[in-house]
């Protein structure tokens, strides 16, 4: 499945909240920290950029997929990006 090329960090944050319950916990500069308790505690840092660079997005999605024991393709389907 192809990654979206024009995805803003705010859109990714909303999708992660809807699908996996990630909540904003803090911000340092342009990096936002999200945390979820679903599947065990997991912290995720994403840059507040518009749009996210493809490599950055790929790394974020791989980290979330690994935590929730999903493939990146399954994760993308659940996030509805």
Closest-CA residue to 46 (of 73, 68, 22, 21): 22
The three state secondary structure string of the chain is: CCCCCCCCHHHHHHHHHHHHCCEEEEEECCEEEEEECCCCCEEEEEECCCCCCHHHHHHHHHHHHHHCCCCHHHHHHHHCC
Q: Which residue ranges make up each domain of the chain?
A: 9-79
Tell me the mean pLDDT in the region 28-40. 94
Tell me the mean pLDDT in the region 11-40. 95
71 — pLDDT class (breaks 50, 70, 90): very high
- Look at residue 2 and tell me whether its pLDDT is greater than 90: no
């Amino acid at each position: 499945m192809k990654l979206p090329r024009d995805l803003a960090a705010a859109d990714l944050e909303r999708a992660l909240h809807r699908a996996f319950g990630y909540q904003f916990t803090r911000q340092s500069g342009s990096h936002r920290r999200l945390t979820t308790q679903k599947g065990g505690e997991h912290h995720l840092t994403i840059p507040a950029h518009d749009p996210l660079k493809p490599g950055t997005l790929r790394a974020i999605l791989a980290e979330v997929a690994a935590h929730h024991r999903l493939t990146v393709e399954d994760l993308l389907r659940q996030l509805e990006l």
